[in-house]
């Protein structure tokens, strides 16, 4: 794409459309959806000042807060919305909608910092904007969208710090963003881990300089890194409990609160119909229904990823890691490495957990997939008009043909396995994966195919967008027929 203005205009249009989607019927349902029953009420308790010590045995509890196992920053954001718009659905959801839009606004500059060309940075934004989980999380008053936006900002600022002459104030800002992520949920600490990884991977290479000198420079920089990425986030985390202390709690009570938080977060073993293990999340295996109304018309809100984005991100991430290591290309290593750092630690958890914990990972899955598509397409110029037509054709085809495609998907993934052996189903899936990988290898080996692949890639981005349009009714709680609903349920585990 030649015109920077065209790309920036498309970025702006995407953000405006995404914000409109996040605001559309934001007040529905007019009741608490899923965990809003905790966070919206606790935000109101913060505004009302109901945070003081309780009876002697439970004096450590923050008043009538129910969601005390998580820090306060996310609840303070929800409270800010209520302070402006009142205690009703728009009031407790508006902060999430704003946070979700800011997260998307960071995708394009983040992708550019990861050295994606303008066209493919735009593709990353379009992929992220087409993810149903990010849309759903931006329309409900829970914490994960806030963890997501602070994580993306923290990593973006770490890149700015490294790529802009290592000016200390960028590292301070990076640590502050990481502290906000940590102050929302403990899992926000992964943002700081990713930021440190960026500093390590993108350290200065100075050929010919003695190793001893380089080690001395590293040790000289270490105090600043510790101050910004350890001490500052810890201070911001502690500051999130300012109201806790001003309402009469003591430091020993705060410490007891954190002992209880540790016990809850590390050992929770509650039964829940939508709970799932972390290794299944990236395959979109078990979404979470936040809201559901049954017959005669179905209205629901589902927290699920865009399957065509999530499934494709798995081979894209693996392939990028392999190519980056083989080429010793640090620039190419970062997108898949960020996915790995934000996702793989969850595999070690044994507590009750849910697919929506993937919210901070999705932006990097989109960037990793766009990076893989860019790698396969090569470095030749992309014609804006043909890329746009390919994107539109892919999106329109998916939207218009979703009925037969949905029927086929349901038959292959749901009805079919009931009538064939497990081995046959696995073999068919393996064959499909092998064909995709063979096409990718052929593209790398035969450069002439890249001209075709370049525009097929944009068509695929369009298909991902068309998929989001198809599933949007069960993200925005639009009324649909029962037949329409079951056409969207490709797997029995999605219900």
pLDDT tens string 102-130: 999 999 999 999 999 999 999 999 999 99
- Res 454: pLDDT: 78
Task: Look up residue 404 and give its two tokens.
Answer: 């037969």
Q: What is the pLDDT of residue 27?
A: 94
Distance between CA 226 and CA 416 in Å, rounded? 55
Q: What is the pLDDT of residue 425?
A: 54
Q: Is the pLDDT of residue 414 over 70?
A: no
334-344 pLDDT, tens digit each: 999 999 999 99
Task: Give residue 402's pLDDT band: very low, low, confident or very high (50, 70, 90).
Answer: confident
Whether 143 contacts 70, CB under 8 Å: yes
Q: Rounded distance, CA 248 to CA 397, Å?
A: 61
Mean predicted confidence (pLDDT) in 400-429: 65
The pLDDT of 307-330, averaged and rounded, is 92
- Structure token pair of residue 487: 């056409």
Predicted local confidence at residue 202, as pLDDT? 87
DSSP SS3 for 481 = strand
DSSP secondary structure of 171-193: HHHHHHHHHHHHTT-GGGHHHHH
Tokens coding 468: 């989001």
Q: Token pair of 260, please?
A: 């209880």
Average pLDDT of the chain is 88
Q: Give the pLDDT confidence score for residue 207 in this predicted structure.
A: 53
Query: Would you call 300 exposed, middle or buried from its count of C-beta atoms within 10 A (0-12, 13-18, 19+)?
Result: buried
pLDDT of residue 417: 58
Q: What pLDDT, on a 0 to 100 scale, did the predictor assign at position 412?
A: 66
For the cut 70, the answer to whether the pLDDT of residue 14 exceeds it is yes
For residue 466, what pLDDT is reported?
94
| Local confidence band at 419 (pLDDT 50, 70, 90 cut-offs) | low
Structure tokens given for 235: 């201070």
pLDDT tens digits for 175-228?
Answer: 999 999 999 999 999 999 999 999 989 876 655 555 444 555 656 678 999 999
pLDDT of 229? 96
* pTM recorded for the entire structure: 0.91
Which comes out higher in pLDDT, residue 189 or 439?
189
For the purposes of burial, counting CB atoms within 10 Å of the CB of 137, is it exposed (0-12), middle (13-18) or buried (19 or more)?
buried
Terminal Cα-to-Cα distance of the chain (whole angstroms): 42
**Tokens standing for residue 444:** 């790398």
Peptide bond before 29: cis, by omega within 30 degrees of 0?
yes
User: What pLDDT is recorded for position 30?
Assistant: 92
Under the banding of pLDDT at 50, 70 and 90, the label for residue 271 is confident
- Render pLDDT for 351-386 as a digit per residue (tens, 0 to 9): 889 999 999 999 999 999 999 999 888 766 677 777
Percent of the chain with pLDDT over 90: 65
């Amino acid at each position: 794409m030649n015109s920077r203005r065209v790309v920036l205009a498309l970025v702006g249009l995407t953000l405006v459309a995404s914000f409109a989607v996040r605001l559309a019927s934001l007040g529905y349902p007019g009741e608490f959806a899923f965990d809003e029953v905790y966070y919206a009420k606790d935000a109101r308790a913060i505004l009302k000042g109901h945070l003081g010590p309780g009876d002697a045995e439970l004096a450590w509890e923050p008043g009538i807060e129910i969601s005390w196992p998580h820090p306060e920053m996310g609840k303070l954001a929800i409270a800010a919305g209520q302070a402006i718009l009142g205690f009703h659905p728009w009031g407790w959801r508006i902060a999430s909608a704003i946070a979700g839009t800011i997260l998307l606004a960071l995708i394009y500059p983040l992708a550019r910092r990861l050295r994606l060309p303008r066209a493919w940075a735009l593709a990353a934004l379009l992929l992220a904007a087409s993810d149903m989980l990010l849309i759903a999380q931006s329309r409900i008053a829970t914490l994960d969208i806030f963890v997501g936006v602070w994580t993306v900002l923290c990593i973006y600022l770490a890149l700015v710090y490294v790529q802009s002459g290592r000016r200390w104030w960028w590292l301070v800002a990076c640590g502050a963003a990481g502290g906000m992520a940590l102050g929302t949920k403990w899992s926000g600490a992964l943002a700081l881990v990713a930021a440190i990884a960026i500093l390590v991977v993108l350290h200065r290479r100075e050929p010919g300089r003695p190793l001893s000198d380089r080690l001395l420079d590293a040790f000289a920089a270490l105090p600043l890194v510790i101050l910004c990425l350890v001490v500052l986030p810890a201070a911001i985390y502690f500051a999130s409990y300012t109201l806790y202390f001003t309402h009469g709690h003591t430091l020993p009570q705060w410490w007891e609160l954190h002992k209880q938080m540790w016990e809850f977060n590390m050992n929770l073993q509650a039964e829940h119909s939508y709970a799932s293990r972390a290794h299944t999340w990236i395959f979109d295996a078990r979404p979470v229904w936040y809201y559901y109304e049954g017959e005669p018309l179905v209205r629901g809100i589902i927290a699920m990823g865009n399957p065509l984005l999530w499934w494709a991100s798995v081979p894209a991430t693996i392939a990028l890691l392999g190519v980056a290591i083989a080429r010793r290309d640090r620039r190419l290593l970062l997108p898949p490495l960020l996915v790995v750092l934000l996702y793989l630690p969850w595999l070690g958890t044994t507590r009750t957990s849910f697919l929506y914990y993937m919210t901070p990972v999705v932006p990097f899955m989109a960037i990793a997939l766009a990076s893989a598509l860019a790698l396969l397409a090569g470095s030749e110029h992309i014609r804006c008009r043909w890329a746009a037509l390919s994107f539109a054709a892919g999106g329109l085809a998916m939207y218009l043909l979703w009925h037969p495609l949905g029927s086929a998907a349901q038959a292959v993934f749901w009805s079919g396995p009931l009538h064939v052996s497990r081995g046959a189903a696995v073999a068919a899936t393996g064959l499909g994966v092998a064909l995709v990988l063979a096409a990718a290898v052929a593209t790398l080996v035969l450069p002439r195919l890249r001209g075709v692949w370049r525009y097929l890639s944009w068509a695929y981005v369009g298909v991902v967008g068309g998929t989001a349009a198809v599933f949007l009714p069960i993200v925005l709680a639009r009324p649909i027929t029962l037949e329409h609903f079951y056409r969207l349920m490709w797997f029995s585990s999605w219900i």
